C-alpha cells in the first residue's frame, strides 16, 4: 500500500511539472529561448540560446456599431392597467359527444402596475392583480357509446385570487426610432387564492375548500409603440419561466389533502398575446 501511495504521489508531481513545462505563460517567466549564431575566440561559429522577451498582443475588439439610444429617460414614471371579463351561458346544449349541457359562469380580472425609471431605458416597479372565477354546471353528459357514459350535475366552483409582483423592465429602441421599441420584463410573482367547489345536493352533497399559494419567476418580452408623447400601446406574448404551486384542501370539514406542483415554460404562445396601454409621466 505504501508503494502504491508513493507511486501515486510521484505521478501527480510529474503531471504538474509537465503541465507547468508546457505552459508558455510560466516557462521562462515571459521569455522564450531563441537560437543565435556567434563567433568564439578561435574563429568558430557556435550556436547559443538567448532569451527573447515575449510580446503578447490582445485581439482587437470588434466594433459592431451598436450604440446606446435613449428610448425613455431616467426619472420618468410609468403606470397602466388592464381589465378583462368573459362570460358564458349554455342551456341544453349538445356538441358532438357532449350532451344536455346546462352551465353558466364568468371570469373577471383587473391588473394595475406602476414603475419608475431608475436609469435610461430601465424601470423598476410593482404589479397587483385580482381574479374571480365562477362556474356553475347544472348538468353535463359525456356519451361515448352504450358502454361508456359520464354524467355530472350540480357542480359549483368559485375562486378569488390575488397576485403581487415586482419587476424590472428594460427597453431597446428599434433602430433610432423614438416611437417603436422592444422591451423585456423580468418579474417575481407571489399569489394567494381561496376557493370552494361542490358537487351533488341534499344528502349527496360534497363541499371542498382550498387555499393556494403560488410563486412565479419569469420574463415577458414585448413591443411598445407610442401614439402620443405620453402614452403607448404595448403588446406582450405572455410570461415564460417557472411556476410553483402549493394547494391545501379540506372536504366536508373532515378530510384534508395537499398538492404541490412545479412547471417550467419557455415557449412563446401566440394565443396568449396581451394588449394594453401604458402612460409615461
Task: Please say whether the beta carbons of 32 and 51 come within 8 A.
Answer: yes
In SS3 terms, 205-233 reads as: CEEEEEEEEEEEEEEEEEEEEECCCCEEE
- Is the full-model pTM beyond 0.85? no
Half-sphere exposure of 110 (CA within 13 A, CB side): 2
Distance CA 244, CA 265 (A): 12
Least confident interval from 13-22, 63-72, 78-87, 263-272: 13-22
Which has the minimum average pLDDT: 88-92, 140-144, 176-180, 258-262? 140-144
| Chain segment 23-47, per-residue pLDDT in tens | 444 444 455 555 555 555 665 655 5
Confidence of residue 240 (pLDDT cuts 50, 70, 90): confident
Give the model confidence (pLDDT) of 54-75 as tens digits: 555 666 777 766 667 788 999 9
User: Which has more pLDDT, 179 or 53?
Assistant: 179
The pLDDT confidence band at residue 5, using thresholds 50, 70 and 90, is low
Q: Which residues make beta-bridge pairs with 132?
A: 108, 160
Which residue's C-alpha cell is 358502454? 147
Q: Which residues of 6-42 are buried (b: 16+ CB within 10 A; e: fewer)?
A: eeeeeeeeeeeeeeeeeeeeeeeeeeeeeeeeeeeee
More confidently predicted of 49 and 99: 99
Which pLDDT score, from 0 to 100, does residue 122 have? 93
pLDDT of residue 146: 67
pLDDT score, position 6: 54
Residue-range domain boundaries for the chain: 2-53, 77-280
Domain 77-280 has CATH 2.40.160: yes
Q: How confident is the model at residue 276 (pLDDT cuts 50, 70, 90)?
A: confident
- Measured CA to CA, the distance from residue 77 to residue 170 in angstroms comes to 14
15 vs 191, residue with greater confidence: 191
Q: Which residue has the higher pLDDT, 120 or 25?
A: 120
The answer to whether residue 166 scores a pLDDT higher than 60 is yes
Judge whether residue 84 has pLDDT over 90: no
Q: Answer left, alpha or beta for residue 26, where phi above 0 means left and psi between -120 and 50 means alpha.
A: alpha
pLDDT cut 70: percent of the chain above it: 73
Give me the chain's average pLDDT, please. 79
Amino acid at each position: 500500500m505504501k508503494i502504491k501511495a508513493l507511486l501515486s504521489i510521484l505521478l501527480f508531481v510529474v503531471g504538474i511539472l509537465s503541465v507547468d513545462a508546457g505552459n508558455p505563460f510560466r516557462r521562462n517567466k515571459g521569455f522564450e529561448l531563441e537560437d543565435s549564431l556567434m563567433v568564439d575566440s578561435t574563429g568558430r561559429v557556435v550556436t547559443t540560446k538567448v532569451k527573447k522577451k515575449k510580446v503578447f498582443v490582445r485581439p482587437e475588439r470588434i466594433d459592431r456599431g451598436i450604440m446606446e439610444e435613449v428610448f425613455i429617460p431616467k426619472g420618468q414614471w410609468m403606470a397602466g392597467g388592464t381589465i378583462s371579463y368573459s362570460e358564458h351561458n349554455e342551456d341544453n346544449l349538445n356538441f358532438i359527444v357532449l350532451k344536455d349541457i346546462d352551465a353558466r359562469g364568468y371570469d373577471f380580472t383587473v391588473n394595475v402596475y406602476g414603475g419608475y425609471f431608475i436609469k435610461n431605458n430601465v424601470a423598476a416597479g410593482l404589479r397587483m392583480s385580482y381574479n374571480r372565477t365562477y362556474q356553475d354546471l347544472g348538468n353535463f353528459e359525456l356519451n361515448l357509446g352504450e358502454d361508456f357514459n359520464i354524467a355530472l350535475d350540480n357542480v359549483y366552483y368559485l375562486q378569488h385570487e390575488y397576485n403581487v409582483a415586482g419587476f424590472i423592465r428594460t427597453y431597446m429602441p428599434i433602430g433610432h426610432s423614438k416611437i417603436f421599441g422592444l422591451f423585456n420584463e423580468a418579474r417575481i410573482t407571489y399569489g394567494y387564492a381561496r376557493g370552494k367547489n361542490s358537487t351533488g345536493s341534499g344528502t349527496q352533497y360534497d363541499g371542498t375548500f382550498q387555499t393556494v399559494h403560488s410563486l412565479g419567476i419569469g420574463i415577458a418580452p414585448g413591443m411598445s409603440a407610442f401614439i402620443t408623447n405620453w402614452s403607448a400601446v404595448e403588446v406582450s406574448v405572455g410570461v415564460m419561466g417557472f411556476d410553483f404551486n402549493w394547494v391545501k384542501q379540506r372536504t366536508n370539514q373532515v378530510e384534508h389533502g395537499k398538492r404541490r406542483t412545479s412547471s417550467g415554460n419557455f415557449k412563446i404562445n401566440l394565443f396568449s398575446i396581451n394588449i394594453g396601454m401604458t402612460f409615461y409621466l
